[in-house]
């Protein structure tokens, strides 16, 4: 189904114990939630929204029409991706994603926050190119080095240990989109010899059944980015390409 736009009909209320994610296919924050829902094997439905042209009913449903938003029991709405994933972890006990030890959990949450530096620099370099910082190269290099060292220190294939955990999932959407940097002239930022562990990790991740479920090929991310930069973000891209 096409992502819903202005003028589209509001979907009927959810039934039973199902939950619904108001999402966008190309939004990395939406993907964070989808990854957690899939990893915890929670039943859910997705309503994709065209965020360049949001339906009117969305503003009634969700404060400020924010995407992503999760609809749960009694039509309650939750916003803010990191609060939503924490909610899912606490509400659904199966397949826990955070470390059990509160200290290790806190340290992983600090790393998730720290990854924002990489996210923001990537955003400036590939999307909001008018706002580039002189040192965005360094920000990305230093940011990724922290995670490279962390994987080496942990000595496990995933940040979560022998299988993926919350930290893996929270940084994944931007790692899936890393080739965006290459296309726009920043291939030197992703040197294989500098990030050996991270490159191995990326291979493990792309082969994981949970990650595969929402994985989009680099080509789509790049095409979307090009349409966005041209001022006409194409949210129907995946449908049109099939």
Residues taking part in catalysis = 27
- The Cα–Cα gap between 176 and 228 comes to 18
Asked if 29 and 68 count as a contact pair (C-beta separation under 8 A), the reply is yes
Tell me if 150 contacts its own copies by CB under 8 A. Answer: no
**CB atoms closer than 10 angstroms to residue 89:** 18
For residue 197, the minimal CB distance to its own copies (Å) is 20
Which residue, 146 or 152, has its beta carbon nearer to its own copies? 146
Angle at 216 between CA 241 and CA 25, to 5 degrees: 80
Tell me if 84 contacts its own copies by CB under 8 A. Answer: yes
Positions 91 through 130 that interact with its own copies (CB under 8 A): 91, 102-103, 105-107, 109-110, 113
Which residues does 40 contact at the CB level (< 8 Å), separation at least 6? 88, 89, 92, 94, 95, 97
Strand partners, 71: 20, 77
Which residue, 87 or 184, has its beta carbon nearer to its own copies? 87
Q: Where are the alpha helices (DSSP H) in 92-165?
A: 102-126, 136-154
Give the interface segment with its own copies, choosing from 29-37, 80-88, 118-126, 155-163 (CB under 8 A).
80-88
Size of the site for its own copies (CB under 8 A): 20
Q: What string marks each residue from 37 to 76 as x (binds its own copies by CB under 8 A) or -?
A: -----------------------------------xx--x
What is the contact surface with its own copies in residues (CB under 8 A)? 72-73, 76, 78-80, 83-84, 86-87, 90-91, 102-103, 105-107, 109-110, 113
């Amino acid at each position: 189904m096409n992502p819903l736009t202005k003028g589209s009909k509001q979907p009927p209320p959810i039934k039973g114990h199902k939950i619904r994610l108001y999402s966008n296919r190309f939004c990395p924050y939406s993907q964070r939630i989808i990854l957690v829902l899939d990893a915890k094997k929670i039943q859910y439905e997705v309503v994709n929204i065209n965020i360049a042209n949001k339906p009117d009913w969305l503003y009634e449903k969700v404060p400020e029409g924010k995407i992503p938003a999760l609809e749960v029991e009694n039509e309650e709405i939750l916003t803010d991706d990191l609060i939503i994933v924490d909610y899912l972890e606490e509400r659904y006990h199966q397949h826990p994603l955070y470390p059990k030890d509160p200290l290790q959990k806190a340290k992983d949450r600090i790393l998730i926050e720290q990854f924002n530096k990489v996210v923001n620099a990537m955003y400036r370099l590939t999307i909001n190119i008018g706002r580039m910082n002189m040192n965005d190269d360094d920000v990305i290099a230093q940011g990724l080095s922290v995670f490279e060292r962390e994987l080496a220190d942990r000595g496990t294939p995933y940040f979560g240990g022998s299988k993926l955990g919350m930290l893996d999932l929270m940084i994944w959407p931007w790692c899936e989109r890393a080739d965006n940097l290459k296309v726009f002239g920043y291939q030197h930022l992703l040197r294989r010899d500098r990030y050996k562990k991270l490159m191995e990790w990326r291979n493990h991740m792309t082969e994981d059944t949970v990650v595969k479920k929402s994985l989009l090929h680099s080509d789509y991310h790049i095409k979307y980015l090009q349409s966005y930069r041209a001022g006409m973000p194409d949210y129907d891209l995946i449908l049109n390409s099939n």
